[in-house]
Amino acid sequence: MSELIRLAHGFGGRLTQDLLDQIILPALSGKDGHAVTLDAAVLPDLLPPVVVSTDSFTITPRFFPGGDIGKLAVVGTINDVAMMGACPQYMSLGLIIEEGFAFDELRTIMASIGRVCRETGVRIVTGDTKVVEKGTVDGLFLNTTGFGTRAFGPVGPELIREGDVLLVSGTIGDHGAAILNAREKLGFDGTLASDCAPLHELVAEVAAAVGGALHALRDPTRGGLAATLNEFAQDTGLQIVLVEEKLPIRAAVASFIEVLGLDPLPLANEGKALLFVAPDAAAAALAAMQKHIYGREAAIIGRVEKAPRRGRVVMETAIGARRVIEMPIEAGLPRIC
Amino acid sequence: MSELIRLAHGFGGRLTQDLLDQIILPALSGKDGHAVTLDAAVLPDLLPPVVVSTDSFTITPRFFPGGDIGKLAVVGTINDVAMMGACPQYMSLGLIIEEGFAFDELRTIMASIGRVCRETGVRIVTGDTKVVEKGTVDGLFLNTTGFGTRAFGPVGPELIREGDVLLVSGTIGDHGAAILNAREKLGFDGTLASDCAPLHELVAEVAAAVGGALHALRDPTRGGLAATLNEFAQDTGLQIVLVEEKLPIRAAVASFIEVLGLDPLPLANEGKALLFVAPDAAAAALAAMQKHIYGREAAIIGRVEKAPRRGRVVMETAIGARRVIEMPIEAGLPRIC
């Protein structure tokens, strides 16, 4: 018997309870057997200052090399919270499911969510499940909102100074390239994989190593380095200089983008952080990252200078030329997260 | 020039910034001009115990008598947080928008969100905007996650006792009837309107009046009184007795359900609370509600008894007969929230 989601699974009655009891809650129960409450949760030990972040996930395909929509939904929100200095402790989970969606696929995605939660110590404490008519959503969309007590910082663009060093925690463009390859069935070799990974430990270790010398950090997801660095340039009014030959790019990604004529800078990443660090702490920050499993290929990739007129991002090429990196406009890569 | 949402508005680049700057952020800025940060927010004054709740909103039609999807998204989450004893202070907002959606409609919905936030003092502090290809979402889906410091309680089904009195804060079935009428274009008279309203003040006033005698409360949304009371019966193992002739039903709703042969108990409500109160505090709880604008038609509608075998809900009719009210299975009313 192949089981499919029916509209009544979202009605709030008996079938909603069945869906929760049989598929959703068992996947989320931790080793301590905590139950997920339905409408709301009380968090007595969430202490101030609280960091919060929300994200919706509409990615297609839902399964891709390196992850799936469930893993991405947990990791994406962990990373947004981590970039503000918090170790995410709690999360809410909203599901919007299309009528006719297969129970088996939902079970697989929920298992993936549960696995990442157990690995990272994040607890899903409240949720919501909606079922909508066939044709009114593309399979499954997820929303996660994460909360944690800030463990380091404050950090933010207002702390970035001329002379700061820019680091990246590893290779760039992996997620964008893997999703484009899978989605468009381009058939490039199987080594293209999403970098989808939780970064809360990595950035906490950098903060422990360099303290207040860690000025600002952000994960370059949608729009990649091009979008994130332009946001920093706008917010600070400074010039961010990227050194082209220092950018770490996996060989498979490099040949993929070369063949397709793509620029790696706007490609999405789902397991990378950009960090602005005071110059005398850059080596220690780099060493802290390279010791971590998700930072082995970390690199110093640029610096911050006074801007000629207003904030901008420039790339310094191997022959010493400079070109301006614009805020990207078009995606080329729809629905990558 | 009619402006429409393009995929690039969700890419994270320049058009995403335009969408945020021109439509989303202006609607949300409060009188104190606070800006909404993009990826995450730090909340220094969110003190424990924190109550959190999340909800996705997929309602069709998006505009209906008594509200719209924007108002509903804020009010729905306010109410879930309020039922756990917290005045919601902060909220996150996730938007999933279909390519081709009209700017004007989005502007109207954002204005509605901003208005409810200003009226209730809720601050939207972080958000996320995704745009998906035409045909992969039905126009616009919203997610809100709300958080606040618990102001009264604890409350919960574990505190309900035999002899407790059951109250409802007003007429039942208004939202479900209004949405069904609008969605199916049934053409019933124009007095059918959603009861969509924020209940945090109302329930806080009951708590102030009766203190710990307020044992448990919940808003009967999807699945209506039938689903919510059955959840309480299961959780407590007690018998909940509803007195049919005490149920407050607006005349327009009564004739609507009579013509269509509908049962009012599974109809959704979006501005009502069910409260379990110790018997000697029931009159004070009723008086506190009736003083509030959203509780004028509050009523005592039942009581809690020892169950014969396991928890269940029964309705006592005018002639003294009793029938069991089952947990509803099918909706009849898809996408009411």
Closest by CA to B196, choosing from B270, B267, B122, is: B270
CB A35 within 8 A of CB A82: no
Total Cβ atoms within 10 A of residue A211? 12
Q: Measure in Å the smallest separation between the Cα of B316 and chain A Cα atoms.
A: 22
The answer to whether A334 faces chain B, any CB pair under 8 Å, is yes
CA distances from A254 to A192, A227, B295 (A): 10, 20, 64
Cα radius of gyration rounded to whole Å, chain B: 21
CA distances from B185 to A136, B60, B190 (A): 19, 12, 12
The answer to whether A158 faces chain B, any CB pair under 8 Å, is no
Q: Which of A38, A53, A97 should be substituted to probe chain B, the one whose Cβ sees the most B Cβ atoms within 10 Å? A: A53
Q: Which of A28, A83, A132, A313 should be substituted to probe chain B, the one whose Cβ sees the most B Cβ atoms within 10 Å? A: A132
SS3 content of chain A, % helix, strand, coil (to 5): 35, 25, 40
Pure H helices in chain A: 14-19, 25-28, 69-82, 103-120, 174-183, 200-210, 224-236, 251-260, 282-290
| Residue B326 DSSP symbol | P
Average pLDDT of span B51-77 = 97
CB B303 within 8 A of CB B311: no
Residue whose entry in the numeric block shows the structure tokens 């971590």: A292
pLDDT bracket for residue B13 (50, 70, 90): confident
Asked if the Cβ–Cβ distance from A223 to B132 is below 8 Å, we say no
Query: What residues contact B333, with CB distance under 8 A and at least 6 apart?
Result: B176, B179, B180, B267, B268
What are φ and ψ of residue B29, in 5° steps? -70, 125
Q: Which of B16, B50, B77, B79 should be substituted to probe chain A, the one whose Cβ sees the most A Cβ atoms within 10 Å? A: B50
Contacts of A147 in chain B (CB under 8 A): 50, 52, 147
Nearest C-alpha in A relative to B86:
A42
b/e map of B160-197 (b: 16 or more CB within 10 Å)?
Answer: beeebbbbbbbbbbbbbbbbbbbbeeeebeeebbbbbb
Which 3-state string (H, E, C) describes B105-153?
A: HHHHHHHHHHHHHHHHCCEEEEEEEEEECCCCECCEEEEEEEEEEECCC
The answer to whether B47 faces chain A, any CB pair under 8 Å, is yes
Contacts of B51 in chain A (CB under 8 A): 40-43
Q: Measure in Å the smallest separation between the Cα of A326 and chain B Cα atoms.
A: 9
CA distances from A217 to A76, A269, A301, B20, B205 (A): 15, 14, 14, 22, 44
Pure H helices in chain B: 14-19, 25-28, 69-82, 103-120, 174-183, 200-210, 224-236, 251-260, 282-290
d(CA A261, CA B330): 52
Sheet holding A41-43, edge to edge: A41-43, B50-57, B140-149, B90-98, B123-132
Query: What residues contact B102, with CB distance under 8 A and at least 6 apart?
Result: B2, B3, B4, B5
Residues in chain A: 337
Closest by CA to A303, choosing from A319, A320, A321, A282, is: A282
What are φ and ψ of residue A2, in 5° steps? -90, 125
Centroid of chain to Cα A10: 29
Asked if the Cβ–Cβ distance from A43 to B58 is below 8 Å, we say no
| Sign (positive or negative) of CA dihedral B223, B224, B225, B229 | positive
* pLDDT tens digits, B128-172: 999 999 999 999 999 999 999 999 999 999 999 999 999 999 999
Dihedral in degrees, nearest 10, Cα atoms B244, B248, B252, B253: -60
Asked if the Cβ–Cβ distance from A145 to B92 is below 8 Å, we say yes
Residue B118's pLDDT is what?
95
Asked if the Cβ–Cβ distance from A42 to B51 is below 8 Å, we say yes
Closest by CA to B38, choosing from B113, B102, B124, is: B124
Q: Measure in Å the smallest separation between the Cα of B137 and chain A Cα atoms.
A: 4
CB B230 within 8 A of CB B136: no
Residues in chain B: 337
* pLDDT tens digits, B85-103: 999 999 999 999 999 999 9
Closest by CA to A139, choosing from A184, A102, A97, is: A97
Q: Which of B6, B37, B39, B97 should be substituted to probe chain A, the one whose Cβ sees the most A Cβ atoms within 10 Å? A: B39
Residue whose entry in the numeric block shows the structure tokens 């590893």: A170
Residue B337's pLDDT is what?
59
d(CA A264, CA A227): 12
On the question of a cis peptide bond just before residue B61, with omega within 30 degrees of 0, the verdict is yes
Total Cβ atoms within 10 A of residue A16? 25
What is the predicted ipTM? Answer: 0.94
- The SS3 call for residue A329 is coil
- The SS3 call for residue A271 is coil
Q: Measure in Å the smallest separation between the Cα of A97 and chain B Cα atoms.
A: 11
Asked if the Cβ–Cβ distance from A13 to B138 is below 8 Å, we say no
The answer to whether B189 faces chain A, any CB pair under 8 Å, is no
pLDDT bracket for residue B1 (50, 70, 90): very low
d(CA A96, CA B189): 33
What type of residue is B41? Answer: A
Asked if the Cβ–Cβ distance from A51 to B40 is below 8 Å, we say yes
Tokens of A306: 């006074």
Contacts of B130 in chain A (CB under 8 A): 56, 58, 335
Tokens of B292: 């509030």
b/e map of B306-315 (b: 16 or more CB within 10 Å)?
Answer: ebeeebbbbb
- A 115-134 → B contacts, CB under 8 A: 125-128, 130, 132-133
CB B262 within 8 A of CB B205: no
CB A292 within 8 A of CB A201: yes
d(CA B142, CA B55): 8
The answer to whether B334 faces chain A, any CB pair under 8 Å, is yes
Q: If chain A, 337 residues long, is cut into consecutive pieces of 10 residues, what is the mean pLDDT of each piece?
A: 85 88 85 57 93 96 97 98 95 97 97 97 94 96 97 95 98 96 84 96 98 97 95 96 98 94 94 98 98 98 96 94 90 55
CB B145 within 8 A of CB B205: no
The answer to whether B80 faces chain A, any CB pair under 8 Å, is yes
The chain-wide mean pLDDT, for chain B, equals: 93
Asked if the Cβ–Cβ distance from A328 to B266 is below 8 Å, we say no
d(CA A55, CA A80): 9
Q: Measure in Å the smallest separation between the Cα of B13 and chain A Cα atoms.
A: 5
Name the pTM for this structure: 0.94
Centroid of chain to Cα A83: 10
Residue B188's pLDDT is what?
85
d(CA B63, CA A264): 43
Tokens of B197: 């309203």
Asked if the Cβ–Cβ distance from B137 to A138 is below 8 Å, we say yes
The answer to whether B88 faces chain A, any CB pair under 8 Å, is no
The shortest CB-CB distance from B126 to any of A53, A60, A83 is to A53
